[in-house]
Structure 1
Amino acid sequence: MCRQLEDLLGEEIVQGVAVVPHGSVQALIDSGKGDLVPRKKFEFLDQGNSHTVHKSSCSAAEYISGIAASLKTGDILITLISGGGSTLVALPKPPLTLEDKMSVVQLMKSHGVAKLEQDLVHKNLSLIKGGGLSEMAAPAKVISVILSDLPHALSAQVSGGLTSTDSSTPQQALEILQKYHLGEKAPKAVIDLLAKDAQEAKSRKLYEVSPNIVFSGPNRRRDTSNTINIVAGTEEIAVRGILQECNELGIPAKNVIQSASNTNTAENGLLLACISQYVTSLLTRRNNSHTESDIVSVELECIKMGMTKTELKEIARISEDAKNAKKPVCLIFNSEVTVHLRGSGKGGPCQETALATAICLKQRHRQHEALQACDVQLLSIDSDGTDGGTNVAGALANHEQAECIVNGKTAQEYLDNNDSFNFYKHLENGRYHVTTGPTGTDIQNLQILLIRNRSW
């Protein structure tokens, strides 16, 4: 985005700053994507880590806050925002320390707190999020261009909503921490601040004063009436591109909508395996009561895991189309997936989803003829090219992987240790790892199931 803006505006840019994960600029250059790097108008704060809060997160926030605060009437601040900003840019509310913020961030990540819930907590502990940056820039105008890793309706809240109003409350942040049993584990200063702000908010009733002004802590209001937020890219755009490509290839495809907005990798792997069994049962369907009973049984299992009857009917429809055309079925999933940290291994949500799916497929494969008669492959990737901070985007998965012993350990042992990266690294010399290099784009994770009848 920075390079495009530089090409468009050129010398009109007075000052440019880009806060990026450590090493990402060099990684773009090393992977042959140097044309994505701005040439002269941007200073790089190449010191952050998009997966955790660090000292550099505070220094970056202070630096860009200083620029915003220096602006005056007639100036224009253009912000280019994508996923990862919640940890790349952090400015804790006093009296919180950086250590307090780092602690609560790590606790939320390790306990599988949903991304939107993490962002809500971030905003209620921050001076810069929830519209804070726009407020600092006033009276200058702010134009914010956003690449979203959130559902479209929430796209303005990417990276904690630096330039968008926020109606969340400290009480909601407290409830999220309590929901995941973090009330006793989080730093006392964090709980005390949220409780204090929640009490003051309750007594003053100043939330949602107007569409553009929101109370966000003692004696503070966030005014973003000076801001235009433009969502330039979302996961929906990427999914449409995949569907179009499938259409051109004659492959029946569907974007699967899950009723659950957030699942952990174990739940997601189980659901993907269950849906795979459902599709294979349809692709190998015989007109007898035994087959119909199997289909109904797995359909009910999918519903229990959050699928709707409407979605399953659509999957059944395209499976029938695929059967008639003797083509594979392609199913695309783009819901958020979190990791519950139990071990000390290395990986990310996409690799762990791949491994969990492989294990669940293996368990079902032995018992179901439909799965044995079909080929099921899963592609699980992070759109930014760095799953969980590793140097890979994700992995390809199938049931055969789960039968392999890798360096003396089973697939389940790797999964239990959150070590999906090393499983795939050492499995057939990394054959199933997907390496794209950094893409410069973060529009959420994608899981793509491709299922075909082996007899076609």
Structure 2
Amino acid sequence: MTESKKKELYQKQKKDIEHLFRHGLEEVSPENIVRSAVSLQDDRLTICGRSYALPGDRRIWVFGSGKAAGRMALELETILGKRAYDGIVICPYGLKTPTKRIQQFEAAHPVPDMNSLTATYELVDVASDVQESDLVIYLLSGGSSSLLCMPCEELEFDEVRVLYRQLLQCGAPIGDVNKIRKSISQVKGGKLRAHFGNATVELLAVSDVPGNEPADIGSGPLIDDHVSPGEALELMRKYGIDKKVPPAIVRFLERGGAREDPAYGVSGRTTHTTVVASVEKVAETVRGEAESMGYNTWVDQEFVTGEARLVAKKIAEKAVDVLARDKPAAKPAALIFYGESTVTVTGSGKGGRNQELALSAAMALEGRHCITLLSGGTDGRDGETNAAGAIVNGQSALDAREDGVSPEPYLENNDSHTFFRKTDGLLVTGVTGNNLMDIQIVLVDK
């Protein structure tokens, strides 16, 4: 293949792969999610197939937390109109929407700040006005663990912030991270549910966790999931952070944590939980669009987990199989992966799991022409950067070396963002107002 043909192919693949990613995000936008789950006709409200009569005195409260909460709340208020009585949602900075009846607070992610604390106390206070005859709709999505934050009273907030930072860097899967968070919280693991009393609660959850287990989404504020102090301590030791967090947190857990209030919990209270969107739906949407564009498709049915740089090598091997043997799909092929890898941070660079995965893939695919890979976070933000991820191909590492930018030191220093900023490989979508884990798309041509 001539250099001009190669360049032309990579330009086409880059255009196609970015279109597929953006198309997948649009189909599962917060607005589309709410419209498909909620409808109102006259005095009857239907939520995920469950019907509610709305006599004049029945109040509908809307609460929520997470990256999708702001946009979901705006669409829900549009549907409910004056039927929406009041409520509070907490969303990340920059994702507040202009609701009129539902209050919105902005706070920090992925590490909570004072606004997280203030907003959570305000949400709990407003929830105390909910009556048994009322209906509560709770909009939950990824990011809630940081936004909805009320540590146990025995702990200092700054100590908890240190714990959050260590959890982000230790390489633990999200399920284990959330177990530790639940052990030191007054609102996670189902503890928020009591504040809505005996009112019926409809929980609409946008999943960002493997298996779509509601107890793991946003640390499950409405799903009873008790984590013992001993289990939390064992997990901290397993991932080597028990010596890195403030000693007061370890002592708190060693003493048995907070005393359980029998008034807290979900027992005897009606909560209907529906996972209204997940990364599997994104993957299937991408598959359908890729097929309409003439690609043969294959979707990996196993969640992507593990260290990002190792995951990248496995994905690259699958792409090379297509290139060499037309397996598991014939060329031109679109391979689709989804899940959430991890990064054990040992360097001082800047990046995120998607950019680190893409950088490792660029090295694994070096010289393997006709292959382009995209790794992106559906929230539009990878780590603490302004990029969703990165796009690479078989030429990326070669071109970088020619320009004096060797990829190995950047990978070693967890500095993938700097590498891609220098080599023009960043995938920038802007913050999407959603959160459905990560997706990898690989295009392989003849």
Q: TM-score per shorter chain, which class?
A: 0.7 to 0.9
3-state SS of paired residue (2:244): coil
- Match in the other structure for 2:295: 251
Deviations 1:87-146 (A, max 9, x none): 111111121111221111111111111111111111111110111111111122222111
Residue pairs, 1:43-442, within 5 angstroms: 43-46=103-106, 48-197=107-256, 217-220=259-262, 221-223=264-266, 225-258=269-302, 262-283=305-326, 316=327, 318-319=328-329, 322=330, 327-362=331-366, 365=367, 371=368, 374-403=369-398, 404-405=400-401, 409-427=405-423, 430=424, 432-442=425-435
Distance, in Å, in 1 between the alignment partners of 2:157 and 2:385 is 25
- TM-score for both structures, normalised by structure 1: 0.76
Shift of 1:77: 2.2
- Match in the other structure for 2:444: 451
Distance, in Å, in 2 between the alignment partners of 1:139 and 1:155 is 20
| Partner amino acid, structure 2, of 1:397 | V
Distance, in Å, in 2 between the alignment partners of 1:180 and 1:406 is 39
Distance, in Å, in 2 between the alignment partners of 1:56 and 1:16 is 17
Distance, in Å, in 2 between the alignment partners of 1:451 and 1:402 is 17
Distance, in Å, in 1 between the alignment partners of 2:356 and 2:82 is 46
**Residue pair 1:235, 1:444 contacting (<8 A) in 2 also:** yes
Cα RMSD between the aligned structures? 2.1
**Residue pair 1:50, 1:84 contacting (<8 A) in 2 also:** yes
Distance, in Å, in 1 between the alignment partners of 2:283 and 2:315 is 18
Shift of 1:265: 1.6
Q: How many residues align?
A: 372
Shift of 1:183: 2.0
**Residue pair 1:347, 1:388 contacting (<8 A) in 2 also:** yes
Q: Percent identity?
A: 28
3-state SS of paired residue (2:243): coil
Shift of 1:246: 2.5
After TM superposition, where is structure 1 displaced by more than 3 Å over at least 4 residues in a row? 216-221, 405-409
**Residue pair 1:6, 1:38 contacting (<8 A) in 2 also:** no
Distance, in Å, in 2 between the alignment partners of 1:278 and 1:217 is 55
Shift of 1:352: 1.4
- Structure 1: tracts of 5 or more residues without a match: 26-36, 199-215, 284-315, 366-370
**Residue pair 1:156, 1:229 contacting (<8 A) in 2 also:** no
Deviations 1:241-295 (A, max 9, x none): 1121223234221221347x63122211222222223332313xxxxxxxxxxxx
Shift of 1:406: 8.9
- Structure 2: tracts of 5 or more residues without a match: 1-71
Distance, in Å, in 2 between the alignment partners of 1:147 and 1:236 is 12
Higher helix share: 1
- Match in the other structure for 1:5: 76
Distance, in Å, in 2 between the alignment partners of 1:426 and 1:64 is 43
Distance, in Å, in 2 between the alignment partners of 1:344 and 1:448 is 28
Distance, in Å, in 1 between the alignment partners of 2:280 and 2:322 is 23
Distance, in Å, in 2 between the alignment partners of 1:349 and 1:147 is 21
- Match in the other structure for 1:205: none
- Match in the other structure for 1:297: none
CA 1:39–1:87: 2 relative to 1, 3 Å: closer
Distance, in Å, in 2 between the alignment partners of 1:40 and 1:18 is 12
CA 1:375–1:123: 2 relative to 1, 3 Å: same
Shift of 1:167: 4.2
3-state SS of paired residue (1:8): helix
Deviations 1:69-91 (A, max 9, x none): 23222122221111001011111
**Residue pair 2:189, 2:215 contacting (<8 A) in 1 also:** no
**Residue pair 2:279, 2:339 contacting (<8 A) in 1 also:** no
| Partner amino acid, structure 1, of 2:437 | Q
CA 1:396–1:129: 2 relative to 1, 3 Å: same
Distance, in Å, in 2 between the alignment partners of 1:407 and 1:139 is 65
Deviations 1:128-170 (A, max 9, x none): 0111111111122222111111134413431110111114433
**Residue pair 1:128, 1:162 contacting (<8 A) in 2 also:** yes
- TM-score for both structures, normalised by structure 2: 0.78
| Partner amino acid, structure 2, of 1:422 | T
